[in-house]
Structure formats: structure tokens, C-alpha cells
């Protein structure tokens, strides 16, 4: 991210600014504060969640600045002293968090932000937006890639979500184990591998399916994927192998009973000698449809709508709560609201993944104060992301992807069940 | 949008580019083509949909250009002749569509894009992303504002969706009748009115609720909204009126049984002489919760998660299909694929809203060719948006909002029912 990138400071709720104004005037804006970003629960029926968006949040933090254009937009939102304070805004605090790709459970302290109230409160909206969206996508993606086993999942949902959310979704899906994406901006910005061949419109553009297939193979090579369901599938498969030869890369099925069709097409391809030609299926797939195709001769799954909408859970419901702050003597005190149905737990947390001696996760251990001495099986979950305002937690996206694979593999086997159930490990609150 | 705004050309699926490459090589890229963006159905149970994103799509079109940075990103995606063609890309075609805020039904031809195949196919992904997202939000918003009647709805869902989707959601919610938003970028970019006061963290920052309320009223004035459910609601209401006086603007309830609490708080406020103090409720509201609070003394609804996730339907399922194209003689021919479960209807369409003599909508009439002579009650639904590549369909957001109100008011009364049902008017396909 270079400094010419647009500011993220207005991707914010109005009330963060009015709170700032009131706190500045009251003299409480500088109180050292600890905010925590956490889920109260997993989406109903889900066994685990996946943290994503960490790298994007760090980018957004670096671009969170109140330049002239931003200040101009805030002229009628806050008063002059507040605008003056904002003009020199720079986050000076510390942030710890779960690393990207890590699995999470109810009350996992995904981010801990420690800074003067004024600096930390302003980050609430943009941090929640990024974490709530990206983690929802990665959580769905992980279930899909788990269901797909060794077969690659291809992200192709850009058209079914906001055009910028699509880029983030492609990135989060990659963290969750997807092999490739259709989204070219995700390729450019994050290095997500992309792939693409053709749509029905390409076939319809041409005077015949044969003309279309020849045009595609001429340009993209025999290794391309031909879309075979525009007219008659059996005829298209025959034609595809005739045009490309038995080394045709793949055929794609985008409608109908995918399981039954895959068997028919596989038999036909084999009979034509195209034993290496793969079968890619697409068409409103979700993790359940993927699982149901496990016995079908399918070589890859293209997933769109259900991936980018979080497969029924498009947001994670993470919240960002003040859990501790300086009092008027300068001491830090834990705070929590008492609203009847929205509990938060005061104090700055540690978090450990407790594992049995076989390395299988047993519990999410969350406590206040000093963590217990590691007996060798516990794994500490918080890593430094920002120190004194400087980003220190940046990493390669492939490292997040590899971490997710390890973290998921460590969970009890029930995490792989598609059926609805409880979180696969319990959250244990220690001390306090 | 100025020309310094970032290009939108990579908010695109890889396969649009590979199709372009193959069509350029085959000599079919210049064939005049008509693409149509339309829904095959409404989300299950919904009575009508709302078109939004038109203005954003026109902005995106103007920024859809292949500058050096974009071409560099495509170097390993397409071949040299394709890159050369892209370098001089400029959309030269015509686009008609439903105006922003208009209601729609199954098969409503929301956009018709007529241009050489190469130019039109590239727009598929970004147009669908914008329309699918924004219309999903506006459709949910419209049901919520319908349920709220004269009481204002306040959009505050930014934190529960992607940070840029949040801006578009605030805009779409405004089209759908929301009064204000919390999103400051929506204020800056689109002039959406914003409002905001304080969160629980502000109360918890201070040594007492009284200190917090005094700080807020000192800075934001007596007209502010005090959040009264951090500790004890009755005590907070008493304190709020003590601090601000009986002209306190409003109190906000963010947890608990909102209907019962609203009655209690109203009685308490009235007994304290604060008869003009409004009661704002927030906390996972959707259109059903809003409707269920119709008899409670509530003065405004803050809606977050359910608005930005489309209240169960986060995407519209619009598709973008080639419906006609030039053949090798230069004549235009209708085309349609024959996939068994995904029908598209060939040919360039007109669309009319048929109304009875009382002005109540009766049917969505969609046909190919020349529309029937208007008998005075039909309303033509397609307006020119782009002519020979130049945007001609730009309008004020308030005009889209007013159009939505008119279009919704014209629907049969059953459109206001919250319960699941069929589209409130039928789609009639004429001619072909």
C-alpha cells in the first residue's frame, strides 16, 4: 500500500466521530483503553470459524488518515477542536490478534487494540467491516474445501457480491483453501491465482458450437475447459474431443443433475480416449452439494454465490467492545456493560488452544492476566500485529493459507462434519 | 468521478478476458451483440424487487479503462494482440435500463447492453456485481421502510459488511426509503444524510453513567440521543432527563424486549415531562421485527446486519446473457441457450408496467420488437442510460428515492405484506 492509496478514515460510522468530540471536550479521550474484537457465538450450527482479513485490516490501518479531503468531508460532522485533533491523527497503540487463517470459537479474542480511547474507538467500524466480511467468507470456504477433499475448489462468485467485496472474497477463499479465483483484481492485489475460459455467451456468439469450440481451442489451447451444456451435452462432449483431441483439458457442466451427468460424461470421455480430460462442475454449489458429489467422477468444483454470501452466514457478528480503560488515577480497570442479552467480559485477554498429547485441539482457553505456564501442548493464539503504531504482523497470503490448513487439521474429526452442531471444542474462561 | 479515480477494469472475471482473446482471433469479437441483465425469479417469498446501483454502474463504466497499470496486470492473462486491443478500449455502445428505484419482477430486462461483443462482454462482471448487491439491499430496505410506515429507518450496518459494500449499502438503503445512515463515506460520496451519537464504549469510558451523559450533552447538545441500556434502563432514563432536561432529543434501546421496554420508557419519559423525547430502538431488527413494533411507542428504527445482508437474500441472482447478435450476413439474430434449468429468452426486449385505470400495477409486460401502442395506462420502463458510449442517464439520488416511493405506491396492496408470497404482479411475455 503506498501513501497515494485513498484514505480509509471515512469507512466509519458517524458516531465514532461524535464520541471522539465529546470525549475530547470531557478530557477523557486520552484514557488508555483496551478494545477487543470477538464473536459471541459461531453462526448457528457451525463447528468452527476461520479468521481472515488480518492483512487487509493492517493495510486499512496504514491508510487511516485524516487528510484535507477527509477533513473537508467532516466539517459539518464535528467541531473545530475535533478537526484539529484529527488532522494530526496517527494510531500510536498496540494491536495483538489471531493470525490470519487461524480457526476461532465463541469469545476468541481475535483482536486486542490498546491505545488512547480516541485513537482506538475510531478504528471500530473499519476493523469490524473487514473481519466480519472476510472471516465469513473464509469460514464458508473452509467447509467447502473440507468437503471437496483433494479436488480443487475454484472461486467464481464475483458477480454475486459487491465489486470490492468480490476481491476480498477471492482473497479470503484462498486463505480457506480454494485453489484459484476468477477475480482479476485479487490476482493483481494479492497474488491469488486466477483462471478462466468461457461462458455460454461465447458459444452463442458463434454460428455453431463447433465454430465456438474451434475458436476457443485455437486461442487458448487444447488444455482449455470447454463449456458443454449450451445445447446438447453428449453432442458437445463428442465435438469437444473431435476439435481438441483426446488431450482436451476439461469440460464444464453448469446445469442439470451434476452427479448423474458427471458419470455419463466420464463414460463418454473415456470411450473417446479422453481419459485425462477433467470434469469441472459449477452451478449454485455449496458445501453440501460438494459433499454429495464425492462419489461422482468430478475433478473440480466452481463455487460462486454460496461462497461469496458465506453459505447462509454472510457476516460473522463480531463486535468491538471496550474491555478495560484507565481510571482517573491512571490505573487500568476492567469494564463491561450489563445489557441483558449482550454480554461482554471485561479485561485484557490471553488465548490458548489446548491440545491433547496427540496434538488434537481440546479447548479454547481464554483468560485475563498472565497465561498459565505452557505445558507443551497449549498453543498461544495471539501474535503482535501493530507495535507503537507500526505494523509488524504482515505476512504472505500463502502463509495464512498454510496456517489454516494446519489449524483445521488439528481440530477434532467432527469439525469435518457438514451437519449442524455445536462448536467442535469448548471455550473455557479462566480466572477473572 | 474524475479520471484520476482508479480503474474498474480488473473488477472482472478472468474468463471475460480469455473470451475476448479467442473472439478477437476468430474474428467474431466485432459482432454486434445485445446482452441483457435480468432476474429469473425474485428471492423466495418476496413480492417485488427494487433496482439500485444504476448510478454506481454508470460511474464504474466511465472508469472501466485499461491503463498501463491494468495492462501490466494482464500481461500473463491474455496475449499481445488482446493487450493492444484493450489499450484503446472505450465502450462505444448503447445501454438502456430500468431507472434507479424502480420496482422489478421476474424477467424484467433491467439492463440492455448493445455493442460489439468484445466491448459488451467485458462489462458483465462489474455490472452484475453492482446490480446484484445494491438491488438486494434496496429490496430489503424497501420492505423495512414499508413496515416502518411514517417512522424513520436509520441504516447502521456498515460494520457487518465489507467496508466498501457498506458505502453502497448506505446508498441503496437511502434509495429504498431509509432516512439516514451512519456511514460517513456515503455522506461524502453520495450526499446520504448521516447521524450518530454514541456507543456503549463511551459510557464505559467514563467513571459513571452520569459523567458520560454530561460529556455527551455538553458536546452534542440536548437534542442528542442517549444510549440508556448500558446498566439499568430506568435509572439511565431518569439520569438522562436530569442531565439534559425534558427537551432531551432521544433515548436509544439496544437490547432486551424492545416492545415492552419502549412502553415502560415512554411512560417514564412522559412522567418526567419529557413528552417530546423520542425512543429509538436498535438490535438485530429486520422487517418482521419492525412490523411487530408497530403498536409500540417507538419513534425510529436503527437497522444494521439484516439490512446490509439483504434480510436473508444478500444477492439478487441477476444474470447477464447474450440474447441477440449479428450473424455472418450482418443480420441480428436472437440467441438463447437450451440448458435444462437455466432458461434465457432471446431477443432485445421492451418492458411496460401495465396499470389499471386507478393506476394500480397489474402486470410486467415484456416483449420483443415494437411495444404495443400505449393506451395511457401502460408505463414504459426502459430509459436510455448510455448513448454511443456517453453516459446520459445520470440523476440525483433523491430522484431515485422519490421514484421508488412512487413505484412502490403503485403496486397492489399485497406488496406491503411481510409474509412470503408470489410476486405481486405477473410477468407477461408478449410476442417473440
Task: Kindly tell me if the per-residue pLDDT of B265 is higher than 80.
Answer: yes
> Residue A256: its pLDDT value, please?
93
State whether residue B397 sits within 8 Å of chain A by CB.
no
- Whose cell is 424486549? That residue is B257
Confidence category of residue A2, pLDDT binned at 50, 70, 90 = very low
Per-residue confidence band for A247, with pLDDT thresholds at 50, 70 and 90: very high
| Residue-level pLDDT at A340 | 53
Record: contact B314-A317, CB cut-off 8 A: no
Phi, psi of B226 (to 5 degrees): -95, 135
Q: What is the pLDDT of residue A430?
A: 87
B95 pLDDT band (50/70/90 cuts)?
very high
**pLDDT single digits (tens) A166-183:** 999 999 999 999 999 999
Residue A413: predicted pLDDT = 95
Q: Is the pLDDT of residue B118 over 60?
A: yes
Give the mean model confidence (pLDDT) for residues A221-231: 96
pLDDT of residue A96: 97
pLDDT at residue number B234: 98
Residue A341 reports pLDDT greater than 60: no
On the question of pLDDT at A375 being above 80, the answer is no
- CB–CB contact B18 A305 (8 Å): no
Domains of chain B (ranges; CATH) run 14-122+317-399+408-430 (3.20.140.10), 138-312 (3.20.20.70)
Q: What is the pLDDT of residue A342?
A: 59
Look at residue B1 in the predicted model and tell me its pLDDT: 41
- The reported pLDDT for the residue numbered A235 is 98
| pLDDT tens per residue, range A53-83 | 999 999 999 999 999 999 999 999 999 999 9
Percentage above 90 pLDDT, chain A: 90
pLDDT of residue B339: 59
* Contact (CB<8Å) B315/A325: no
* pLDDT at residue B375 in the model: 67
* pLDDT exceeds cutoff 90 at A336: no
Phi/psi at B33 (nearest 5 deg)? -140, 150
B181-237 per-position pLDDT tens digit: 999 999 999 999 999 899 999 999 999 999 999 999 999 999 999 999 999 999 999
- Give contacts of A 267-286 with B, CB under 8 A: none
What tens digit of pLDDT does each residue of A123-160 get? 999 999 999 999 999 999 999 999 999 999 999 999 99
Between CA A27 and CA A30 the distance in angstroms is 7
Mean pLDDT of the region A292-312? 98
Q: Which residues of A touch B327 (CB under 8 A)?
A: 207
Nearest to B205 among A219, A256, A325 (CB): A325
CA-nearest residue of chain A to B231?
A338
- What does the pLDDT look like over A13-44, one tens digit per residue? 999 999 999 999 999 999 999 999 999 999 99
**Residue A3 confidence (pLDDT) above 50:** no
Q: What value does the mean pLDDT of chain A take?
A: 95
* Tens of pLDDT, residues B343-379: 667 778 899 999 999 999 999 999 987 777 766 788 9
Which residues in A lie closer than 8 A to residue B130 (C-beta atoms)?
162-163
Looking at the complex, report in whole angstroms how far the Cα of residue A28 sits from the nearest Cα belonging to chain B.
7
Mean pLDDT over each residue of chain B, to the nearest integer: 95
Residue A220 is nearest to which of B18, B132, B195, comparing CB atoms? B18
B40-55 per-position pLDDT tens digit: 999 999 999 999 999 9
Q: Which 174-193 residues of chain B touch chain A by CB within 8 A?
A: 182-185, 187-188
- Taking 70 as the threshold, does the pLDDT of residue A1 lie above it? no
ipTM of the complex: 0.96
Portion 337-366 of B in contact with A at CB < 8 A:
337-342
Query: Is the Cβ pair B218, A166 closer than 8 Å?
Result: no
Task: Using a pLDDT cut of 70, give the percent of chain B over it.
Answer: 97
Q: Measured between beta carbons, which residues in chain B are less than 8 angstroms from residue A35?
A: 201
Give the number of beta-carbon pairs within 8 Å between A and B.
Answer: 342
Q: What is the pLDDT of residue B430?
A: 87
Is B12's CB within 8 Å of A184's CB?
yes
Each residue of B266-315: pLDDT tens digit?
999 999 999 999 999 998 999 999 999 999 999 999 999 999 999 999 99
Amino acid at each position: 500500500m503506498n501513501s497515494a492509496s485513498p484514505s480509509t478514515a471515512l469507512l466509519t460510522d458517524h458516531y465514532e466521530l461524535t464520541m471522539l468530540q465529546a470525549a475530547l471536550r470531557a478530557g477523557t479521550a486520552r484514557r488508555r483503553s483496551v478494545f477487543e474484537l470477538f464473536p459471541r457465538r459461531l453462526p448457528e450450527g457451525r463447528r468452527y470459524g476461520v479468521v481472515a482479513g488480518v492483512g487487509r485490516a493492517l493495510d486499512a490501518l496504514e491508510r487511516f488518515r485524516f487528510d484535507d479531503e477527509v477533513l473537508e468531508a467532516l466539517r459539518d460532522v464535528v467541531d473545530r477542536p475535533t478537526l484539529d485533533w484529527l488532522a494530526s491523527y496517527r494510531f500510536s497503540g498496540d494491536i495483538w490478534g489471531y493470525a490470519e487463517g487461524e480457526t476461532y470459537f465463541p469469545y476468541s479474542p481475535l483482536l486486542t487494540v490498546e491505545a488512547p480511547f480516541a485513537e482506538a474507538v475510531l478504528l471500530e467500524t473499519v476493523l469490524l467491516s473487514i473481519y466480519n466480511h472476510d472471516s465469513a467468507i473464509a469460514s464458508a470456504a473452509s467447509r467447502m474445501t473440507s468437503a471437496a477433499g483433494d479436488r480443487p475448489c475454484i472461486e467464481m462468485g464475483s458477480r454475486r457480491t459487491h465489486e470490492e467485496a468480490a476481491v476480498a472474497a477471492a482473497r479470503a477463499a484462498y486463505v480457506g483453501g480454494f485453489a484459484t479465483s476468477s477475480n482479476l483484481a485479487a490476482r493483481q492485489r494479492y497474488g491469488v491465482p486466477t483462471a478462466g475460459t468461457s461462458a455460454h455467451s461465447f458459444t452463442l456468439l458463434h454460428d455453431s458450437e463447433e465454430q465456438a469450440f474451434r475458436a476457443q481451442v485455437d486461442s487458448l489451447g487444447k488444455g482449455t475447459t470447454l463449456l458443454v451444456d449450451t445445447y446438447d451435452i453428449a453432442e458437445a462432449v463428442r465435438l469437444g474431443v473431435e476439435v481438441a483431441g483426446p488431450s482436451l483439458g476439461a469440460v464444464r457442466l453448469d446445469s442439470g443433475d451434476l452427479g448423474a451427468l458427471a458419470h455419463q460424461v466420464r463414460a463418454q470421455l473415456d470411450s473417446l480416449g479422453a481419459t485425462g480430460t477433467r470434469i469441472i462442475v459449477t452451478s449454485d454449489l455449496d458445501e453440501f452439494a460438494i459433499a454429495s458429489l464425492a462419489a461422482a467422477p468430478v475433478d473440480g468444483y466452481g463455487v460462486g454465490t454460496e461462497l461469496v454470501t458465506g453459505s447462509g452466514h454472510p457476516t460473522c457478528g463480531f463486535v468491538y467492545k471496550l474491555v478495560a480503560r484507565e481510571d482517573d488515577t491512571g490505573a487500568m480497570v476492567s469494564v463491561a456493560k450489563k445489557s441483558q442479552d449482550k454480554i461482554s467480559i471485561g479485561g485484557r485477554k490471553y488465548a490458548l488452544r489446548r491440545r491433547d498429547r496427540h496434538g488434537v485441539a481440546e479447548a479454547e482457553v481464554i483468560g485475563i492476566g498472565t497465561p498459565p505456564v505452557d505445558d507443551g501442548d497449549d498453543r498461544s493464539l495471539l501474535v503482535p500485529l501493530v507495535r507503537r503504531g507500526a505494523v509488524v504482523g504482515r505476512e504472505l497470503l500463502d502463509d495464512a493459507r498454510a496456517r489454516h490448513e494446519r489449524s483445521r487439521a488439528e481440530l477434532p474429526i467432527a469439525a469435518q462434519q457438514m451437519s449442524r452442531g455445536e462448536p467442535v471444542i469448548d471455550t473455557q474462561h479462566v480466572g477473572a
